[in-house]
Chains A and B, each alone.
Chain A
């Protein structure tokens, strides 16, 4: 049994060390004795939703991103189908934007996206860049990385009202019409079982504790829907955040084998790198222990 990873558009969306993320997934599977294969899926290639356990989409320059947007729209239904069936997905920066509902450029009409995440992105004039740390509800330790984007991403339901906090029900669920076509407030009930059980609501991935995040305003970063994650963090993300890498890998392994849980690895070096960043930018970050 092997974990099958689909790397989408590797030759176009490879801007910020994205191959490091795929490498991290493969290595961490191998170190556990699990086989992992990576298949590259690019423009024009068919996408079989049932074939893969984990999808990865990186970020790219505007030019290259435009080249894949059209193709990704065609692959959208297959991707959504796979995610609904429990496959894991990680999308970063440009890939994250393309999987949202729409992208609004500075000039011209909005470009529709895949709609996997309930977010919409507006082109901004200022680049949001720098080191970033995010508290993620289903991880004990924050996630660290680097962001560099001009698009500002908002949850579609928080443009006019407050958003539900990451990983917990919205503060004010009795406002009607907050999310069209989505389940009503009753289904916001807290998840039973482990904390990372997703309840089918698209939520922010976490809360920014350092840096900008989705838009530099509402304090949220990324999006999280079932086993799919969209985020602006690169750096690359997974080698330095082994806890997040293992979460994705566990989801993928569960999708493949039905078994939950993975063996632990020696992450001393990763923990050092992680801690070095946290301590440099958040000197009071003593309270997070690996």
Chain B
């Protein structure tokens, strides 16, 4: 890690803006406490919004006090990748201050709020010069649509991690091709930034062209759906199937999911770059936790993650690749335990349980067709048997969710239709749209129940005999869903004995059984 922070004097407006932000935040906290929500509710981006209005250069000046600024962006997996990377960085550099925008507030105002809060907690002292492992690192999750705005405001970013680009909230981001082009231009304003890119996504891989300091990561081995033609004439939600250069159709020899795979354009020769960080999923991810073997610079490292699903394999790989670029590949040995112990953030596959009751609930965010398809598959293939669980689909259509709910039809519902889960509860402002969608997907309407309020949905679960509640929420349903659970006696986390219960390895899997032929990582 190199120190690049500038010790600069700030103008009085800077201090005024920061003070304003702090005051607004304190007021907000008081209001929350008075409103008896207390810990239940997280802060908003309002302090950052006001401070930024008061002093537009605030973000740039705040970021200038960090030695490393790492931006994580893309459609799916930003939050998990950001948190994983931050945990790994903390483990690798115990003396460094690592800041993240933990609330998932990933637009400019949210970034400013998080950075101001960090400044209050750990004031930017004079940058010390003892070694280079005690610097200040900012790992920031940035909304992919906000990247162009960030590029205008912030002139130094040290690394950018891009996870993937799927269709998401078309009313906000327009089409993927347009968004990718805007992002590419934004990256052009940071010529010195290191890029850590997903080689398996054509639109993301293309952003590395003509740049120095690009590292690619991608999945390898264990071909899934080998030779499948992506997206066409199957249920799979194929997207972005055209070559980003010449717009001819891409040929895929292997697909991981959606359009992530090994592709090649016959027309212009554009193809998947060979990734420096290659990962192979060991064993079946259907069973729950993911075991990954990451290969980089001739070394093989084993990572185990309690997170299930192929998308989480990508998140882990992205975070590990970024750390490898930041700290050197040799230090990846040290972060393998971090991945095993990683606890997902609120609403990212978060578990709840009721003390003294054999019941539990899982809260997961769904926001676009590909994510929904993958989450459904991962949720349905782990946990208790189908007859003992209840599924809630909470769909809102507010600005942060995307106003347009037609994406529900682009997900693959076959896994749910084929399962024996009953009832499936539809909730949120668009509960009836969800119910109609399920009816047309082939789910018998008698299995579907509409309860627009999330409190009602959780109560229905507690009144039933079911053991597990799976709560899939769009963004603005997450907080109400969490609140409904906590109000009805649920506590975050799972009780210890249950975590190691047999037959369910989707969580609490904190050790990796050795795989023959692969040396276990040794802590130095």
Contact = CB atoms under 8 A, between A and B. Distances in A.
B432 A63 contact: no
A277 B410 CA distance: 20
B462 interface: no
Interface in B157-203: 167, 170-171, 174-178
A202 to B, nearest CB: 27
A67 interface: yes
A217 B178 CA distance: 27
Contact of B403 (A18, A19, A146): A146
Contacts of A261: none
Nearest to B231: A11
Given A24-B440, A27-B440, A276-B430, 17 more contacts: A10-B232, A10-B233, A11-B231, A11-B233, A11-B241, A16-B404, A17-B407, A17-B408, A23-B441, A27-B442, A63-B177, A130-B403, A234-B406, A235-B406, A240-B436, A270-B436, A272-B450
Contact of A40 (B233, B431, B436, B448): B233
B241 A17 contact: no
Contact of B238 (A11, A17, A130, A234): A11
A239 B436 contact: yes
A148 B175 CA distance: 11
B242 A235 contact: no
Contacts of B437: 20, 239
Interface in A228-264: 234-236, 239-240
Contacts of A129: 171, 403-404
Nearest to A275: B432
Nearest to A276: B432
Interface in B402-416: 403-410
Contacts of B247: 63, 66-67
Interface residues of B, number: 38
A62 interface: yes
Contacts of A277: 433
A80 interface: no
A16 B445 contact: no
B116 interface: no
Interface string A275-289: 011001000000000
A131 interface: yes
Contacts of B174: 127
B439 interface: yes
Contacts of B442: 27
Given A17-B410, A64-B242, A130-B403, A239 B440 contact: yes
A275 to B, nearest CB: 8
A44 to B, nearest CB: 11
B432 A273 contact: yes
B502 to A, nearest CB: 40
A14 interface: yes
Contacts of A61: 175-178
Contact of A20 (B171, B440, B448): B440
B233 A20 contact: no
Nearest to A240: B436
Contacts of A234: 404, 406
A16 B169 CA distance: 10
A234 B403 CA distance: 12
Contact of B409 (A11, A20, A148, A269): A20
B435 interface: yes
